[in-house]
Structures are given as structure tokens and as C-alpha cells.
Structure 1
């Protein structure tokens, strides 16, 4: 029998970190805006009566972007409080085709081949088992279906990778890992999905709002700032670290499909 203790503990950490801040994620400009939304809308608009899974929906920004183009959007997240925010905002915006469902990415309560589109944005770095979650995403995707994975991307260089993972964990104890492009490609392929395209964007993060959104304790905040001042110039240049702690990181937009058998 598989050991689920660790998964339950991690889920509790994620809910503790995000549940109380659900409203902050609804109003976060980092989460509400992005060039990738136009790409998502263009692709979903080409699918007749699409059924969409917003996997790890957070405050529902992907769901809200696609609701007017889809027959149904399932907003799926671990946090019940996040889903309450999504349901309330969907009602306020007149989206009666958004349905909120609670659960973990590694065990989707949906039938095989039940979605035309699976999207995940800024969620995968919290998944305890990214390989299993991606296999689940493939399972519920129809043959020929579209998958889109959008997340902060780690560097292929160990030094830069170590810095990013460290500041992410100090800020948010539910963080698991930001994956590099090569890691994403391998995991997606192993899950049985075919990568069709990928692109990178640069994501600018204002330090104070980035910290406030997660209610990072002062001791962790100070540790991040100290680390930023102590790293070498190579790291400072790569992340464009400002004197106030604001920085820039890479973001990956990866498109994949489930091939027809």
C-alpha cells in the first residue's frame, strides 16, 4: 500500500500557506496578467464546445480568461478557500459555466479522456509528485487534446538553480521545485504527452508584494535579502536584482498534446 502520509502533510502545508491569502491572489497583478493568456484564448477558441480543466487554479485567473470560450471550465485546486474565492468571483462576473472541484493534482477525480484542454499556471512547483500529476493530466485529456503548462522556470546552471530554489523555499515553505526546461521536457514525455512548442518569458517580481502575498515571516524575508546581497555578481545579473530586492526570473510556457492512438 502506498505511503500517503507525506502527501497529506504537504497538502496541509500548501493549504496553510495559500488558504488565508486567497483574496490576495485574486487581485495579484502577476497572476491576473500575462501575455500567455492571449495564446491560451487563441488556441481554446479553435475547439468547439471545449471542456477545460484549470489544474491548480489558484484564484481562478485561467478559468476567468477561458470561460467565455468554453462549454465548461473545471477550476480544480487543493485549497477549499481558494475555490470559495473562485466561485464567488465567477458568480460576480456572470460565469455560470465554471465549476469548482477540490483535490490534489496527483489524483484527479475525473473520468479518462474527459477534457479537451488541461491548463496549469503557476501551480506545478507545489506538486509533491510532478510525474504522477502529469500522468493524471494525460489520463483525463482526450486524444488530440491540448495541454498547457506555465510556471517559473529554473536555470540549467546549478548555481542559478540553487539560488532560485533557496529564495523560493525561504519565501514559501510549500514550494517543492521550479523545473528547468529540460526537466519539463523529460517529465512531460515520460507522462505520455508530446511537446509541441515552448517559449520563455521574463517575469518581474516586486519584492515587497511578492513577500506580502505569502505572508513570509520577517526572519525568512531578512534571510532572502541577506542572500541577495551576498551572492556573486553573476547571480545578481542573471536575476536583475535591484537594491530593494525586486528581481526577474524566467517563466516557461510549454504546449503539449495527447496523441491519437
Structure 2
């Protein structure tokens, strides 16, 4: 596993806890069925995981360590979901037997792993013949926004550099199809979807989250410790995020690649 660029600061979880099937896994919804056993690789805070549990027979949620897994365990307990179990896993070498799951899902994970092709091979191995591996990842090079604030260009350049320094690929969305083919999948449907933030409420949430995240998260520490940026640089970027959020013309688009790959 590559180093996780975002870390788990409250500002990061604020973002990840907003994810649902509707905004992050709608492409998979038609394939969910009441008899399915689903593996959710990289469950994070568990918001998508808990929703999956309402649509399938059994969900297994994984994370890279006990602290990370505790987030989805807590939400599952609070929701009363009784059909979720949990496992600490390395996606490059999953502990499950061959042909264990009907569906394997992963969201915003392959951009962070050291070897996404090997990760997909493992997901394919544990999927039953004819089952589905579903992956969705952002593509940072495709992010677009208005107004065109130079500090946000600086933010994007720094984020992509930090992610690559950690062994990840921030422009993963466009690569999912090629990674799946390299992993041995022959039946792959590749699609795309977006997040768009333009209302005052959406701008306040997205811009405010990044204004905090660029100052306080693991990304911020990495940028300063590696001398990619100074504390003053990050403060300028944070201020620009708040300026963008306050601008009535503000608009932000994030593209995502998606794949439905048949095992």
C-alpha cells in the first residue's frame, strides 16, 4: 500500500462521510441484488458500506488498519446493520479465498495504492465467475473551476506532486479501463460521472473543507516537511479556497472514471 495522502483528519472525514450510493456508486446500483455477497475494499467512514447493506445479503468491509476500520464499524453499529463484517486487509494480497464474493467494490482507492493492476487482479481472484468488480476514482488533472484563482492551480499542482511522492496516481480515473485490462479482465464497461459544487451551500462545504484540509491534514504536514510548500504558502491557498467559496460565481467540477468489470 502506498502512503495515504489525505490522512484521517476531521476535515478529510467531513468529505468522505458525505459519500452515498447516489453520489458515488450509482453506476453500481443496477447490479445490486438481495442475494449478493459484497466486498467493500477501503470502506473509509462506512457511509456507502452501510447503504450497500440495505441492498445485498452480506457486506464485508475492509481497511488498512484497525483505526481506519473502526470508523466504518462505528457507523455500522449506530445504524443497526447486522449483515456487515469487517477485515483488515492489504488490497494487493487479500486474505479471502478464490470466488468468495458476487460483487467487489472500491471507491477512491486505486489512486492511492502502490500497484493498482495487482489490486484489481486480487479483486478479480476473490470474485465469483461472472461476478462484478466495480471501481470509481477521481481524475485530478481533469478538475476545473471558476473563478480562475492562481492559488487553486498551486493547490492542484502540490496535491498531485504529493500523491505521486506517496506512490499513488492522482489521475486514476482515466486509467481504470487500462488497469482492468492489464489485470486480465476482458468484459469491462467504462463510464464517467461528476461531482459539481455551485450553490452557496455546496461551495461553503467544499471550499471550507479544503481551506481546513490544506492547513491541518496529513497532506499539509507532508507538503511542509518535504519543503514542497511553506506554511505561508498553505495559508495563501486556504484563504483562496474561502474566497472561492464566498464568490457567487463559484463553480467546481470533479470528473470520475468508473468501471464495471466482469470476472
TM-score normalized with structure 1 length: 0.72
Show the counterpart of 2:191: 198
Name the SS for the 2:188 alignment partner. Answer: strand
Name the SS for the 1:250 alignment partner. Answer: strand
Show the counterpart of 2:178: 186
Q: What is the CA-CA distance between 1:210 and the residue it aligns to? A: 3.5
- Given candidates 225, 243, 262, the residue that maps to 1:258 is 262
Show the counterpart of 2:7: 18
Q: What is the CA-CA distance between 1:134 and the residue it aligns to? A: 0.8
Name the SS for the 1:82 alignment partner. Answer: helix
Name the SS for the 2:75 alignment partner. Answer: helix
Give the whole-Å Cα distance in 2 for the aligned partners of 1:84 and 1:182: 31
Inter-CA distance 18–92: structure 2 relative to 1 (3 Å threshold): same
Give the whole-Å Cα distance in 2 for the aligned partners of 1:213 and 1:228: 10
Name the SS for the 1:126 alignment partner. Answer: coil
**Does 1:43 find its partner at 2:30?**
yes
Q: What is the CA-CA distance between 1:227 and the residue it aligns to? A: 7.9
Which deviates the most, 246-255 or 51-60?
246-255
**Does 1:128 find its partner at 2:128?**
no
Q: Is the 8 A contact 2:163 2:169 kept in 1?
A: no
Show the counterpart of 2:65: 79
Q: What is the root-mean-square deviation in Å for CA atoms of aligned residues?
A: 3.7
CA deviation string 1:128-170 (max 9, x = no partner): 111110111111111221222122114379xxx9974632444
Q: What is the CA-CA distance between 1:17 and the residue it aligns to? A: 6.3
Name the SS for the 1:251 alignment partner. Answer: strand
Show the counterpart of 2:146: none
Flag structure 1 segments of 5+ consecutive residues without an equivalent.
1-6, 230-240
Give the whole-Å Cα distance in 2 for the aligned partners of 1:167 and 1:29: 16
Show the counterpart of 1:110: 96
Inter-CA distance 179–121: structure 2 relative to 1 (3 Å threshold): same
Show the counterpart of 1:214: 217
Show the counterpart of 1:167: 159
Q: Is the 8 A contact 1:53 1:119 kept in 2?
A: yes
Name the SS for the 1:105 alignment partner. Answer: coil
Show the counterpart of 2:147: none
Q: Is the 8 A contact 2:214 2:238 kept in 1?
A: no
Taking CA–CA contacts closer than 8 Å with sequence separation of 6 or more, which of the two structures ends up with the larger relative contact order?
2
**Does 1:69 find its partner at 2:55?**
yes
CA deviation string 1:34-73 (max 9, x = no partner): 544562573244x241111111111112211101111111
Name the SS for the 2:98 alignment partner. Answer: coil
